[in-house]
Chains A and B, each alone.
Chain A
Amino acid sequence: MAKITFNHAGGDVDVLEVEPGTSLMRAAVTNGVAGIVGECGGQAMCATCHVYVREEYLDALPEISDDEDEMLDCTVEERTDRSRLGCQVTVGEGLDAVEVDLPESQV
Chain B
Amino acid sequence: MDTTARDRIVITGNGQAGVQLADSLRAAGFTGDITLVGDEAAFPYQRPPLSKDYLAVRDGGAAPAPLPLRGEKFFADARLDCRTGVAVTGIDRNGHTVNLSDGSVLAYTKLVLATGAANREPAVPGAGLAGIHGLRTLADAEAVHRRLDTVRNAVVIGAGFIGLEFAAAARARGIAVTVLEYADRPMARALSRPTSEWFAAAHRQMGTALRLGEGIASFTGDGAGQVAAAVSTAGHTYPADLVLAGIGVTPRTELAEAAGLAVDNGIAVDASLQTSDPDIYALGDCASYPQAHAGARLRLESVQNATDQARHLAGTLTGTVPAGPYAELPWFWSTQGALKLQIAGLSAPGDQTVLRGDPRTGRFSVFCYRDGALAAVESVNQPADHMAARRLLAAGRTLTPGQAADPDFDLKAYAKRVPTSLGT
Contacts and interface: CB of A to CB of B under 8 A. Distances in A.
Contact of B422 (A30, A39, A76): A76
Contact of B73 (A32, A71, A73, A107): A32
B303 to A, nearest CB: 6
Sorting the interface of chain B by its residue count into under 10, 10 to 19, 20 to 34 or 35 or more gives: 20 to 34
Contacts of A47: 387
Contact of B68 (A30, A39, A45, A73): A30
B67 A70 contact: no
Interface in A54-107: 67, 70-71, 73-74, 76, 107
Contact of A43 (B71, B335, B387): B335
A19 to B, nearest CB: 10
Nearest to B307: A39
A67 B383 contact: yes
Nearest to B333: A45
Nearest to A34: B74
A9 interface: no
Nearest to B304: A39
Contact of B423 (A32, A42, A70, A107): A107
Contact of A70 (B72, B307, B383): B383
B357 interface: no
B335 A45 contact: yes
Contacts of A30: 67-68, 71
A26 B73 CA distance: 14
Given A40-B303, A45-B383, A107 B424 contact: yes
A66 to B, nearest CB: 9
B48 A40 contact: yes
Contacts of A41: 46, 48-49, 52-53, 67
B394 to A, nearest CB: 12
Contacts of A45: 333, 335, 340, 342, 383
Given A45-B333, A76-B421, A29 B68 contact: yes
Nearest to B388: A74
B412 A73 contact: yes
Interface in B50-76: 52-53, 67-76
Interface string A18-37: 00000000100111111000
Contacts of B73: 31-32
B384 interface: yes
Nearest to B383: A70
Nearest to A43: B335
B423 to A, nearest CB: 5
B323 to A, nearest CB: 21
Contacts of B384: 70, 73-74
B408 interface: no
B52 A29 contact: no
B222 interface: no
B387 A39 contact: no
Contacts of B382: 70
B49 A42 contact: yes
B99 interface: no
B398 interface: no
Nearest to A75: B422
B118 to A, nearest CB: 21
B159 to A, nearest CB: 20
Contacts of B75: 32
A76 B382 CA distance: 19
30 contacts: A29-B67, A29-B68, A29-B69, A30-B67, A32-B70, A32-B71, A32-B74, A32-B77, A33-B71, A40-B48, A40-B303, A41-B67, A42-B67, A43-B52, A43-B335, A44-B383, A45-B333, A45-B335, A45-B340, A47-B387, A67-B340, A67-B381, A70-B383, A70-B384, A70-B387, A71-B383, A73-B384, A73-B412, A76-B421, A107-B311
Interface of B: 46, 48-49, 52-53, 67-77, 303, 307, 311, 333, 335, 340, 342, 381-384, 387, 412, 421-424
Interface of A: 26, 29-34, 38-48, 67, 70-71, 73-74, 76, 107
